[in-house]
Structure 1
């Protein structure tokens, strides 16, 4: 299994000790603002188990993210193949952090590490990211890591109820255009 390290973070496999803070993160309506709803503890535990199974199978995926200096679990980041029901294919970068971790550059730092892994280790030709059109914070991270948005690729996610979460944007980063992994 791959483990990624940055100046301040470790992207690693999931541990039993991650389940409580992961469930709390997913029960936070502000963290889940751009998702159809909060998750139960059981749903959070099931997602962590799926994430770890993918890492065990492929060697990469949605890694747990911890602050290296303290060992504090703060969320997840990584790469995952795009779901089959999406109107495009590829590998996407993603992240979700606890509110206490917002505003410190952790999402950008973790995303840069995941993207570097995708290009350098997996030799991916490009990496993409998807979010709701209203999620300006995630879009800012996408731009900071060098991704660009083409409005022609925007789509409605029909798996969510009609409303502000349905319009989605796609950002892309071709290999060779990524920023170096530094702060």
Structure 2
């Protein structure tokens, strides 16, 4: 997707810009946005994440794109696709993921962006399936996964190896959507 944006009725999913870093860091510092992650991120940690996202985009030609609202060009967060590169039952698969600023919640933006990412993936890549994972207590995310037509695959659920054994976030659920016929 380098150079080309995905557009929906209300959104543009695009490559990251330098000016996205500040609102992204602000979002990653919000305890409510990061509720289902081990911790909030510092500005340096958030900037490092932008760097890793950029490397993934350059390496694979797809990734976690910045989400911008067309109406006012405001940065809302990210949505996109990423290869899972750690040891777990879905290692090597492509995951769809999203993170939006709290002021964007419950307005249909995540569903709109994620649906567009799936459409892009089926049209431009030969993925046989796309997965999504989250902490099993993250009902908002697995609710969105279901709205995307994804199905829970309990045989793929796992204990996240990068989280402490006593973390309530360690148990992860996996949802899958297969390539449309």
Give the TM-score, by structure 1 length: 0.93
2:129–2:179 Cα contact (<8 Å) kept = yes
Give the Å deviation of 1:11. 0.6
1:82–1:91 Cα contact (<8 Å) kept = yes
Point out where structure 1 has 5 or more consecutive residues left out of the alignment.
178-183
Residues paired across the two proteins, number: 177
Q: 1-side partners of 2:132 and 2:19: how far apart?
A: 28
2:89–2:157 Cα contact (<8 Å) kept = no
CA RMSD, 1 decimal: 1.2
SS in structure 1 opposite 2:103?
A: helix
Alignment match, 1:135: 138
1:51-82 C-alpha deviation (Å, 9 max, x unpaired): 12222333210101010111100100000111
Which of structure 1's runs of 4+ aligned residues deviate more than 3 A?
none
Point out where structure 2 has 5 or more consecutive residues left out of the alignment.
none
Give the Å deviation of 1:163. 2.5
Q: 1-side partners of 2:6 and 2:23: how far apart?
A: 21
Find 1:171's aligned residue among 168, 175, 178: 175
Give the TM-score, by structure 2 length: 0.94
